[in-house]
Structure 1
Amino acid sequence: MSLKIIICIKSVVTTAPEGRVVRTMDNCILNPFDRPAIEMALKLKESEGGTVTAVTMGPDTGSTALYEALSMGVDRAVLITDRAFAGSDTLATSKTLSAAINRLKPFDLVIFGARSSDSDTGQVGPQTAVFLDLPVITGVKEIMRKGDDLLVERHIDEFTEKYLMKLPGAVAVHPRAIQPRDAALSMVEKAFKKEPIEKLSLTDLGISSQGLGESGSPTKLVSMSKIKRKKKCEFIDGSPEEQADELVKRIKAGGYIS
């Protein structure tokens, strides 16, 4: 049985030297943590057959990430965009994504990257799975087909865990799970020659705006500042033995060793 896979990705932005967010088509890229997730989706498609649909939420600049996904080999790209979604935190984002994924039924597997390089929360994948009422496994290193189910492997501390997951289900892929492919120039050209990226608005999703966007976000970023790291260098005098003894004393005093 082939797999219908949905991969949720994000377009992230670079920042100006003063820390200001710059959101333009030229400065938006595919979230680096989503690339291994896309690769895992494509590997599953190659081994089991099926389709891979990439989904992202945001303004039109989000199409940058979708074109990158298409150039890697994704079959279909969907942009969820509406002013009603602006200012969403992870909870409101997860609600919107789950509504869009329901709109794209049927599906067998929803794949997420571990986290995004801009907010670094790692919350959207598990939250979206909960809204979809799907089993979810995070930190995934490998996925194999086992009958009608999936055998999912993850590493935690010094252990390897293996889970048998019934479908439909969801996974969040470990950043070092698999080396993502580089898109060939021919694939990049093909991506831009495909049908226009599909767009889904609030009306298309058929849901209320209540609980979505900025007004539906229980958390808000109130400030962001660069961490000022203090560097201090000291020299210890004396013979090598005296220097070693003094260094050990200082390390113990700092609580690094007992």
Structure 2
Amino acid sequence: MVSFDGLTDLWDRLFGAQPDPPPLLVLVTAAVALVVVCTRLPWRIARNAVTIAHEGGHALAALLTGRKLRGIRLHSDTSGLTLSAGRPTGPGMVLTLLAGYVAPPLVGLAGAWLLGDNRITLLLWLAVVLLLAMLIMIRNAFGVVSLLVTGGLVLAVSWYATPQVQAAFAYAGVWFLLLGGVRPVVELQRLRSRGRMPASDADQLAGLTPFPAFFWVVVFALVNLAVLLVGATLLADPLLADSGLAL
């Protein structure tokens, strides 16, 4: 049986605040995340994390708007598919389609808020819980493997790594979600302009609303850039504090 002291230690470990990270760590992790987003092969590998957040956004929006979630598929080409049942038109369907491209930076923003309060371990454990919850709805083998590998990595870091490694991992991951939310929107418009994504989220939204697909691409871009700005401000707080400019 788990002792009371053990539960207390676990509680303190989970909900306790970690020390402020060195300002250099914040800068280095931001630079690493930017390099990953801007370079071809690292982006091709790491983009799976963005796809997980994208499809998770569709799934959560579907559930919150009363739609019945049928399943989620993640593919090796970093694409994904979330199936839900309900009215094919109306606000619920619009919000479900809208949630995908804005989900990664919004998840990053939530992470930046937790990091701003130095809740690094809590952030990592919440990520594991969300990945496990999403695993229930995965309907293909690659999706299962992708979530298990991602969740296992996050769990291993949260349990075995030193506080410094945990901080570096958490900051790099949050920076990546904030920055990585912008590139898929650019890729979306590039593929649309070539006629290669006729059934994209933006095009489906155009079919459900009076606004053209390009309008929705712009909405995705503006939301993600605004979230990136807010998230970057939260993450940069140690830098501002070190320079005496913290709000």
Normalising by structure 1, report the TM-score: 0.26
Structure 1 or 2: larger strand share?
Answer: 1
Normalising by structure 2, report the TM-score: 0.27
Structure with the greater alpha carbon radius of gyration: 1
Structure 1 or 2: larger helix share?
Answer: 2
Does 1 or 2 have the higher relative contact order (CA < 8 Å, sep 6+)? 2
